[in-house]
Structure formats: C-alpha cells, structure tokens
Amino acid sequence: MVDAHEIQQPDSTSQKGLVPFASPEASSGEPHIETPVAYDAILLASFGGPEGQDDVIPFLRNVTRGRGIPDERLEEVAHHYRHFGGVSPINEQNRALKAALEDELARRGIDLPVYWGNRNWAPYLDEAVTDAAASGRTKLIAIATSAYSSFSSCRQYREDFARVLTETELAGTVTIDKVRQFFDHPGFVTPFAEGVRDAVTGYLSQGIAPEAVRVLFSTHSVPMDDARRSGPRDVEWGDGGAYATQHLAVAERIMSDLAAEEPAAGRVGWELVYQSRSGPPSQPWLEPDINDVIEGLPAKGIEAIAIVPLGFVSDHMEVLWDLDTEAMEAAQEAGIKAVRTPTPGVDPAFVKGLVDLVLERVNGAPTSDRPHETDLGPWFDVCRPGCCENIRAGFKPAAAGIAP
C-alpha cells in the first residue's frame, strides 16, 4: 500500500502560474489549497446519456468522437440502451442529485447555485458554464460524478472544462476548480459499507458459512496503458496504477470494518473485479472480468455473492446492464445466490459529503482536518503534473491541475 505522505508533499519548485483556468488561490499549484476561496457556483459535471431511441447512436458518436468507429459497431453497444427503451437513467439520476444538493445547501444556508452539464449529451457543459457566466457566476467549483483517478474518470473532465472555457471565450473570465477525488471520503464509502454489511449478514443469517460467501467489488475496466498512467507519475503504483490502488484500499477498509463489527465476516473472501470493457481483444484491459470470476466460483465452494458497484456513484447503464443483467445471469447459470448492493445515488450521507467537499475549498480547510477512510487520502485539490495521461491522445489543456 502506498502511504499518503509519499505522494502529498508539495513540489520542490514553485508551481505558481502553472495551473491554467484556475482560481487565483488554486493557481499556486499546491496539492491542497488551504486558503478560503469565494466560489459563487457549483458545476455538477457528468457523463450524460440518451433519453430516447433516436438519441442512442448520436450519443454513442459523441462518446467515441475522434476514434472513427462506424455506426455498425456502435449498434453493438446500442442494444444495451435499446433494451431500456433507449433511455439511460443517468440524466434523471443527475436531476435528482442536483435537487438533493440544492436542498442540502439550502438546509445549511449556503448560497451556491448548482449548474449541471454533461460531457456527451444535453444539457452540455458549455451550456452550464455559459448560463453561470450570464448570471454573473464566474468562480466555479466542479463536482464530477466520478470518484477515482484515471483519464476517463478525472482528466477527461478537466480537459472538457478547459475546452469549454476556450471555445466559449470565457477563459480569463470564468475559472473552474474541482473538488478532490472522493473515493475514500466517508460520504461516498458509507453507502457501500452499509450495503456490504446488509448483504453479508443477510447471507450469514440464512446459515450460509462465511467461507461460502464472496464479495465482488466491481468497477469499470480501463486499458492497462491508461491504468498505469492514473494518478501522479512520480509514484510506483503497480500495473493498475492509482485507479486500482484506490479501489483496493476502499474495499479493504470496508471489509476490515465489517470484520470488526461482525467477526464471522472476517472469514468472508473478497476481490476486485472489472466490467464493461469495450476495447479490441488485442488491447490489454484491467482484469479479471466479473462474469469470468462468477463462472469459476462454484468450484471454490462459493454459494453466495454480493456484487458491489464500487466504481459507480449511481445506477446508470453499466450497473443496470452489466451487473443487474449480465452478472446476475452469470450467477444464475453458476447456481449461486447473488445480490447487488446499492450505489450512493442520493443517499443523504453522499449528498452531505459532496457539500462538505465543496466547503473544504470554500473554507480552506487544513489538510489535517479533511476526512478520509484510507491511507491514500485526502487526495489532491490540484492534480499533479502528468496525472492520468491518455496515451493515445497525449496531454491536452486541462483545468484543475498543474500543466505537464
């Protein structure tokens, strides 16, 4: 396990001016900004999804833009959406999250409007940023609906912030900072921990032996080349990079806490598995695949599994199709019991935690006061040089991080 102090020391040389598109406070490039920042709006940034059958292929073209993938191949993925009427649940979930954030902010008497924009479908990020600017809200703090470090879950959002500011000619007028990666913030971890506890104790109460229960923590697979480049480049993370390391650290914390609460659960095995890979067979991606793992569990004496969507903040398509459909079918074929535990969604602990993350930056909270459930945290406010490179496209301008 990488220790937090190994990765969170300020760079030895001054980084001032090397954080483009940032607030003056964050432009220092320090890993954690302990100076209060007078933000005037929150930018809720998400992936986006189609909301009807006619939207599916245009949406997938947006997701795969620049890769030259023909519509015939996109249709192979489109059937996941078409199975649900062409509607991804993610937009409705983001509407609910936006409303929950607004309610929590109002409950605390915090005057920060929430603007919501997506990377790949309406409402788009450029609409959210221009709407904020038109209302005189120019100092934005972003929350991306992704908790971990990788190109697709962090840097791509930061690149989109930079692209939007440039294309709208608002760079220099609007600044965008980003809350730290919240993979180990209590507000994110608690809903998962409660789901694992309920699933495991439920199996044990049915008389299933602890050794016959397995917890599968599942997350989106990514290409190995991208995984190795996730997180700060000056740390030896291993093949899975910071992305895999963060997931493993959270899963280990959840299971160790459960064992302390319920000793029999200490004999329950667990592992990190991956789902939703979409690259060509010749390209190595993070493994093992969840369905391959499930297929082999009966031979190991496993009778029941808890599937934990640890990489996801809500029940969007990868959860509904890859877990609730394909993984559940794999469990049925293997003859083992299976439950899928909840995602954070709009769980009050998660919503409160997101607001707490914003207030860390508003108040310039000392690093020592920032809650975290693993030794990796608290993660950086300002991403480090060379963090989460896309090996196929190289580095593009990005907000909320030191330029490589």
Share of the chain above pLDDT 70, in %: 96
Over residues 315-321, the mean pLDDT reads 95
What CATH number corresponds to the domain at position 290? Answer: 3.40.50.1400
* Pair 216, 325 in one domain: yes
Report pLDDT for 280. 80
What's the full length of the chain, in residues? 404
With respect to residue 219, please indicate whether it lies within any of the assigned structural domains. Answer: yes
Q: 218 - beta bridge partners?
A: 273
d(CA 288, CA 273): 5
In this predicted structure, what is the pLDDT of residue 138? 98
Cα torsion angle, 332, 74, 68, 314, sign: negative
**Confidence band (pLDDT; 50, 70, 90) for 13?**
very low
Are residues 243 and 261 both part of a single domain?
Answer: yes
Q: In this structure, are 178 and 322 located in the same domain?
A: no
Cis preceding-peptide flag for 348 (omega within 30 of 0): no
Same domain, 153 and 232: no
One domain for residues 129 and 25? yes
161 and 97 inside one domain:
yes
> In angstroms, rounded to a whole number, what is the distance separating the alpha carbons of residues 181 and 367?
14
Return the pLDDT at 226. 93
Number of domains in the chain: 2
Lookup result for tokens 């519509």: 71
Residue 331 in domain: yes
Model pLDDT for residues 363-378, shown as the tens digit of each residue: 999 999 999 999 999 9
pLDDT score for 77:
83
Answer yes or no: are the C-beta atoms of 164 and 129 closer than 8 Å: yes
User: Are 274 and 362 contained in the same domain?
Assistant: no
Tens of pLDDT, residue by residue over 25-40, are: 999 999 999 999 999 9
- The answer to whether the beta carbons of residues 126 and 48 sit under 8 Å apart is no
The single-letter DSSP state of residue 262 is S
Is the pLDDT reported for residue 72 higher than 90?
A: no
Cβ-in-10-Å burial (0-12, 13-18, 19+) of 386 comes to: middle
Does residue 229 form part of some domain? yes
Indicate if 203 and 112 belong to the same structural domain. Answer: no
Rounded to 5 degrees, what are φ and ψ at 256?
A: -70, -40
- Residue where a domain terminates, one of 340, 359, 392: 340
Mean pLDDT (the chain, rounded) = 94
Rounded mean pLDDT, 128-136: 98
Q: Please, is 327 exposed, middle or buried when counting C-beta atoms within 10 Å of its C-beta (0-12, 13-18, 19+)?
A: buried
Domain of 190?
186-340
**% residues pLDDT > 90 (the chain):** 87
pLDDT of residue 2: 59
Residues 249, 317, single domain; the answer is yes
Instruction: Give, to the nearest 10 degrees, the angle between helix 186-205 and helix 348-363.
Output: 160
- Are residues 238 and 117 both part of a single domain? no
Are residues 114 and 148 in contact, defined by beta-carbon separation less than 8 angstroms? no
Supply the pLDDT for residue 7: 53
Q: What is the DSSP letter of 283?
A: S
